[in-house]
């Protein structure tokens, strides 16, 4: 019997010929990731184990991205813990501000998430790297600590759901819309514990940035991971970046799926998720009148070059609505610089938007754009839970960057073509 | 363990369990002061040591923050019973030793304020108020082992002691 891509990667890393869904396996991990919120806890737990050294200083990434540049004294203390641990253990991939990015933007960009690998991160959106054919999944701080000690993690082999996208993509529809559409169909626990495999002609034509945005939100359906089999586009992306040798893995022709769901992309319009769950999606034509106080373009979902270019294309020569604050957050230093070189900053500043240094910032209600009671934001981020961006009485709507940019101009949730 | 029940609905997410505005610390006692605050601002005042949380589907969805089960545990909650748990929360709870039980029947039938007793090893839940009894999905042997060793860190210490080789947890079938 053939294996899905997740099964095959797990089997290889467990030293087995084959695995079946439901089986528990202990696997070797290629990379262990933590950030300024989750790594301090992991470091405390690591100390309890009593080892002096981490398993491999080249296979741990520490990224202070959530509350950085340090938003308050306690955050500064947490970042210091991270920094001191990185120095003590001589961690190769510690990314200080000025050289960093949002972790899930940064790792693919730096060639630290590669096809066929297993990557665990003490952050739920670690699943992003499935876009490059890595089995990547979020874990907690204690799992991170154990992996820093042993270089291993235990998993239950997931069932796999296969999503095939056929037909022709609407021009304003991106990976973000495809995943919002799927979550709207199957619900926030629709892929609980599962691997989601995305394929079909629409996915094959999708850019890497769009694929990363898509797999980023697999966790929003409850999944262990979101996977796209590596193709020429993915292999070309990693070729010049890879920091270590890797071996791509593809699903078998006769792999067994729990369920296969086929979507016609032509039927999918830009999506908006209403408060307070990512599954509350509507097509843009069914949104109605939703006035906004703030628009955020950024995050590990949509803070990449493609996203900023899309936004700039719509904002060129226009002004942000006078009742709206537009906050743009490039996902990494590299993207920040590239956007500046391409003249996107001029467009954003002309439009009277704010440009932030790379940070998670408002995405999780940290800093750089917290909402007051009753305020409403449209964001290109991935979660719209109660209080996610600030006051529990505020509201977050989710969309792609084109809808976000257009809406910043009109002051209400709008389709991109309304401002053309 | 025995206590009174505080009931919640579907998709209780980790942002509600412990909002990010309190994540600039990982001190369990400090986190516990804000547990469930965005779902029920009076929650902490109502909780007595040993009380239980009973919730519906997908409890603990969202972020991987281990601060969520830590805050629940430090607030004195003895166990969480739910129809189902989100994957990372489930792992984290087992890893840090917060007892959790999956039982759709208990999640449906237990009423707010009911007094409930839990036998973790047997996976049995007794509703002392209604006299009903419910069965939870049993832990797999590997997870039972983790729980008995006191969580993942003691397990890792045991692993490092027992041998330095490539020991694997015994391969087994499970539904979790
Ligand atoms: S950008 Fe948001 S979702 Fe992504 S890692 Fe940061 S806080 Fe998490």
Residue position matching structure tokens 């993509």: A169
Residue A286 buriedness (CB in 10 A; 0-12 / 13-18 / 19+):
exposed
Tell me the mean pLDDT in the region A375-381: 98
Are A50 and B158 contacting, i.e. CB atoms less than 8 angstroms apart? no
* Integer Cα distance of A60 and A30 in angstroms: 9
Cβ of residue A216 lying under 6 Å from some atom of ligand 1: no
For residue A414, the 8-state DSSP code is: -
Distance (angstroms) between ligand 1 centre and the Cα of A103 equals 8
Beta bridge partners of A354: A327
Cβ pair A146:B152 closer than 8 A: yes
Tell me the C-alpha distance between A214 and B138, whole Å: 34
Mean pLDDT (whole number) for B106-129: 96
* Structure confidence by residue, pLDDT tens digits, A237-262: 999 999 999 999 999 999 999 999 99
Rounded mean pLDDT, A396-413: 98
Q: Which of A122, A142, A189 sits opposite B96 (nearest CB)?
A: A142
Helix extents (H) in A169-251: 175-186, 201-204, 208-216, 232-239
- Partners of residue A14 in chain B, C-beta under 8 Å: 168
A235 Cβ contact partners less than 8 Å away, ≥ 6 residues apart: A115, A248
- List B residues 42-81 in contact with A (Cβ-Cβ < 8 A): 57-58, 61-67, 70
Distance A35 CA to ligand 1 centre (A): 10
Angle ∠(A188,A303,B87) on CA atoms, nearest 5: 25
Dihedrals phi, psi of A347, to nearest 5 degrees: -65, -45
Query: Is the Cβ atom of A27 under 6 angstroms away from ligand 1?
Result: no
Q: From ligand 1's centre to the CA of A365, what distance in Å?
A: 10
Tell whether the model's pLDDT for residue B13 goes beyond 60: yes
Instruction: Say whether pLDDT at A7 is over 80.
Output: yes
DSSP class of residue A319? -
% of chain A exceeding 70 in pLDDT: 100
Specify the DSSP class assigned to residue A137. Answer: E
Nearest Cα to A59, choosing from A78, A32, A85, A36?
A: A32
pLDDT, position B145? 86
State percent of chain A over pLDDT 90: 100
Q: Which of B86, B155, B175 sits opposite A22 (nearest CB)?
A: B175
Distance CA A178, CA A220 (A): 13
In this prediction the pTM is: 0.96
Is pLDDT above 90 for A192? Answer: yes
pLDDT, one tens digit per residue, over B120-161 is 888 999 999 999 999 999 888 888 888 888 899 999 999 898
Query: What is the reported pLDDT for A304?
Result: 98
Does residue A309 surpass a pLDDT of 60?
yes
Place A281 in a pLDDT band, splitting at 50, 70 and 90: very high
Measured between beta carbons, which residues in chain B are less than 8 angstroms from residue A124? 62-64, 88
B22 touches A: beta carbon within 8 Å: no
- How far apart are the C-alpha atoms of A396 and A376, rounded to whole Å? 6
Dihedral, A51, A53, A54, A60 alpha carbons, nearest 10: 150
Q: Which residues contact A88 (CB under 8 A, 6 or more apart)?
A: none
pLDDT band per the 50, 70, 90 thresholds, residue B171: very low
ipTM of the modeled complex? 0.95
**Chain A residue with Cα closest to B141:** A24
Cα A292 from Cα A102, distance rounded (Å): 26
Please say if the pLDDT value at position B76 is more than 50: yes
Half-sphere exposure of B141 (CA within 13 A, CB side): 7
- Per the CB < 8 A criterion, the answer to whether B86 and A189 are in contact is yes
CA distance A136 to chain B (A): 13
What pLDDT sits at residue B163?
Answer: 60
Q: Do A48 and B153 make contact, defined as CB atoms within 8 angstroms? A: yes
The backbone torsions φ and ψ at residue A141, rounded to the nearest 5 degrees and listed phi first, read: -65, -35
Domains of chain A: 5-263 (3.30.499.10), 272-414 (3.30.499.10)
Which residues in chain B are closer than 8 Å to A49, comparing Cβ atoms? 153, 156-157, 160
The average confidence (pLDDT) of chain A is 98
- Number of CB pairs, chain A paired with chain B, less than 8 A apart: 162
């Amino acid at each position: 019997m053939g294996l899905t891509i997740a099964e095959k990667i797990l089997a290889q890393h467990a030293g087995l010929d084959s695995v079946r869904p439901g089986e528990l396996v202990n696997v070797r991990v290629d990379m262990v990731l933590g950030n300024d919120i989750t790594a301090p806890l992991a470091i405390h737990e690591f100390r309890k184990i009593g080892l002096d050294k981490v398993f491999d200083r080249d296979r741990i990434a520490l990224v202070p991205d959530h509350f950085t540049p340090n938003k308050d004294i306690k955050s500064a203390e947490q970042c210091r813990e991270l920094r001191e641990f990185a120095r003590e253990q001589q961690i190769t991939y510690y990314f200080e501000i000025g050289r960093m990015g949002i972790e899930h933007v940064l790792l693919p960009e730096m060639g630290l998430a590669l096809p066929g690998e297993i990557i665990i991160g003490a952050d739920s959106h670690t699943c992003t790297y499935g876009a490059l054919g890595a089995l990547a999944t979020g874990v907690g701080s204690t799992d991170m600590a154990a992996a820093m000690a042993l270089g291993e993690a235990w998993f239950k082999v997931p069932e796999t759901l296969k999503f095939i996208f056929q037909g022709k993509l609407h021009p304003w529809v991106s990976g973000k819309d495809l995943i919002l559409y799927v979550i709207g169909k199957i619900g926030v626990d629709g892929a609980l514990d599962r691997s989601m495999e995305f394929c079909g002609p629409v996915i094959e034509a999708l850019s890497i940035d769009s694929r990363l945005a898509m797999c980023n939100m697999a966790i929003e359906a409850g999944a262990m991971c979101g996977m796209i089999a590596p193709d020429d586009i993915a292999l070309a992306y990693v070729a010049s970046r890879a920091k270590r040798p890797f071996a791509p893995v593809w699903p078998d022709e006769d792999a067994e799926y729990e369920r296969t769901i086929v979507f016609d992309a032509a039927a999918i319009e830009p999506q908006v998720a209403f408060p307070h769950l990512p599954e509350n999606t509507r097509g843009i034509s069914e949104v109605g009148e939703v006035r906004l106080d703030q628009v955020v373009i950024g995050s590990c979902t949509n803070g990449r070059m493609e996203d900023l270019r899309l936004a700039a294309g719509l904002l060129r020569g226009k002004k942000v609505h006078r009742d709206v604050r537009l906050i743009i957050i490039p996902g990494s230093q590299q993207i920040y610089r590239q956007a500046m070189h391409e003249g996107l900053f001029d467009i954003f500043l002309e439009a009277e938007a704010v440009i932030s240094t790379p940070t998670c910032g408002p995405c999780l209600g940290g800093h750089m754009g917290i909402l007051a009671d009753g305020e409403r934001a449209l964001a290109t981020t991935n979660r719209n839970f109660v209080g996610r961006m600030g006051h529990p009485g505020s509201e977050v709507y989710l969309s792609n960057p084109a809808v976000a940019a257009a809406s910043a101009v009109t002051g209400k949730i709008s389709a991109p073509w309304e401002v053309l | 363990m025995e206590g009174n029940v505080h009931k919640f609905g579907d998709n209780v997410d980790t942002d509600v369990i412990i909002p990010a505005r309190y994540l600039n610390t990982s001190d369990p006692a400090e986190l516990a002061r804000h547990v469930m605050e965005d779902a029920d601002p009076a929650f902490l005042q109502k909780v007595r040591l040993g009380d239980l949380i009973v919730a519906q589907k997908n409890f603990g969805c969202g972020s991987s923050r281990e601060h969520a089960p830590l805050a629940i545990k430090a607030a004195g909650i003895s166990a969480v019973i739910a129809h189902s748990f989100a994957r990372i929360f489930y792992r984290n709870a087992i890893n840090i030793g917060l007892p959790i039980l999956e039982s759709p029947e208990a999640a449906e039938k237990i009423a707010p304020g009911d007094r409930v007793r839990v036998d973790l090893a047997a996976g049995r839940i007794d509703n002392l108020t209604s006299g009903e009894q419910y069965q939870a999905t049993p832990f797999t042997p590997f997870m039972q082992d983790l729980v008995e060793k006191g969580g993942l860190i003691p397990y890792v210490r045991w692993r490092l002691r027992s041998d330095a080789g490539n020991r694997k947890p015994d391969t087994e079938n499970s539904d979790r």
